[in-house]
Amino acid sequence: MSKLYFKYGAMGSSKTAQALMCQFNYIQKGFDVFLFKPQADNRGEENGLPLVKSRIGLKSECVEFTREDNFIKLSRAYDILKPRSVIIIDEAQFLTTKQVNELKNLSQKVPVLCYGLLTNFKTKLFEGSKRLVEIADSITEIKSVCKCGKKATVNARIIEGKIACGGEEVLIGADESYEGMCYSCFTKRKREEKKQNKS
């Protein structure tokens, strides 16, 4: 039976790599895989075509979507709703509530696998992730570790070597802009940086 899956993890937890490995596995078994990523994620392009690209070097061509796109219409445009089709979404946190609802409807006919962050750098749920938690049939955490060895749960935004506490929710970046941390290290580093700013 087809389902809506949400697989989430902190920055650096191999979400994109796992999405691409999942794509490869389905393709090996003869499925048609439709890989999507948000247009806002402009980190990958090859020969003018958008790419989903992981830190470990895995990559694949994909279809970009905007916040205005309707996945029901996209499914018709790409002839997705047929036997042995699969939808995979990378950076699913950038989906809108409406788009997640559309993907839920599509998941009644084909498997839909969403990979993304759960929370932003302020430890607040992203819109897309919140709705996925509410209506996904299967929710799985992709675990990663903090530098201290504990489980990373916070996506700390790093600006000029310090944790950022303000700014826009969306700032596309990787290791140069974000660090997955446990909550203890996150709060401890914020306290230390606050003291340094006062001195």
Q: Which domains does the chain have, with CATH numbers?
A: 4-142 (3.40.50.300)
List, for residues 103-156, the tens digit of each pLDDT value. Answer: 999 999 999 999 999 999 889 999 999 999 999 999 999 999 999 999 999 999
Residue 1 has pLDDT above 70, yes or no: no
pLDDT at 45: 64
The rounded distance, in Å, linking the Cα atoms of 126 and 109 is 26
List, for residues 152-189, the tens digit of each pLDDT value. Answer: 999 998 888 788 776 665 555 454 578 899 999 999 98
pLDDT at 112: 98
Residue 199 has pLDDT above 70, yes or no: no
Residue ranges of the alpha helices (H) in the chain? 15-28, 71-77, 97-106, 127-135, 183-198
Residue 46 has pLDDT above 80, yes or no: no
Residues 108 and 56: beta-carbon distance below 8 Å:
no
Higher pLDDT: 46 or 81? It is 81
Of 54, 53, 55, 75, residue with least CA distance to 65: 75
Residue tagged active-site, from 46, 61, 68, 91:
91
pTM more than 0.85: yes
Give the β-pairing of 138-141 and 4-8: parallel
- Is 91 noted as a catalytic residue in this protein? yes
